[in-house]
Amino acid sequence: MADIAVIGAGSWGIALAKVLATNGNRVTVWSILEEEIDMLRRNREHTQKLPGVKLPEEMRFTSELEEAVRGKEYLILAVPSVFTRSTAKSMAPFVQQGQVIVCVAKGIEEQTLMTLSDIVEEEIPAAEVAVMCGPSHAEEVGIGLPTTVVAGARRRSVAERVQDIFMNEVFRVYTSPDVLGMELGGSLKNVIALAAGMADGLGYGDNSKAALITRGISEMARLALAMGAKYETLSGLTGIGDLIVTCESRHSRNRKAGMLIGQGHTVQQAMDEVNMVVEGVYSAKAAIALARKYEVDMPIIEAVNRVLFEGKPVKEAVSELMRRDRRAEHSSLEWTE
């Protein structure tokens, strides 16, 4: 049994808190919103973001960050990526040497192009930092549907400790040393999922979706490999696996936002309708900035940026993608004649 705090009471934080509590750990959930904490205490359920998922009576809730952080063995950092740095700064005075912080959000900081684990390591050098991601919607994890994810860390022992606290008969956890590849896969797939949603919003079919997913993983892998990540990671759960579920699932907020944009909503209207943080919108600019920094061609992600931030009509963006210069699918394959 471990003492664990989940920092962030969104749908993903609450779903993971339930997994950890079900495994017999002592779990405290923190939110900056006092009214959210009151609602969780009163209902033992997040009635807005994860309705129907009842939380164990022994789970604790607090809006006091020091109470949540101090003395815990593990801190599960589940705030949206745009709040990772500010939350880490606030946590830093209370974190002791060797506490494990597990980043479970997905994103790249637009201003610095840093991954979330890099941000936490910069703000809280005393901590052991890990990440966890994979194809895992909170709505399914919360009700105990079988799910498989990956825990990553620079040290094997840290990744295996994270594996141990989460793993059970319906929540399987693998380990990986390729933290960079995991975080890039988890962030970039949200941008591709926006494109997949736009295609759905336009009424395009399965052919279009399959092409977006396939060419999307190709773009993700090109950038990740250029940055030093491993191909195996992009072909695994935190790459193609996470991309498939985010592009296809009815639970995907990125797909839903993209679908609304494809139907003619503005970006802001789509985000308001989804009513949760749409990580792909925040990662899109960082993704294209990384592509330019590493001189990697990412036409789908570039098209998404034009739709989101330059007012490009979705149909025009699709037409431009389809009319790009002819080329071979894999330039590394050689002809015999």
Distance CA 251, CA 336 (A): 46
Q: Confirm whether 189 is a catalytic residue.
A: yes
For 204, other C-beta atoms within 10 Å of its C-beta total: 16
Evaluate whether 238 touches 103 at the Cβ level (below 8 Å): no
Alpha-carbon torsion (263, 266, 267, 268), positive or negative:
negative
Nearest to 91, CA basis, from 77, 106, 81, 80: 77
Amino acid letter at 269? Q
- Amino acid, res. 281: V
CA dihedral (276, 306, 300, 194) in degrees, to 10, reads: 20
Q: Within 10 A of 83 (CB to CB), how many other CB atoms are there? A: 17
* Torsions phi, psi for 151 (to 5 deg): -105, 125
**46 and 39 Cβ atoms separated by less than 8 Å:** yes
**Catalytic residue among 49, 189, 209, 285, which?**
189
Residues serving a catalytic function are: 189
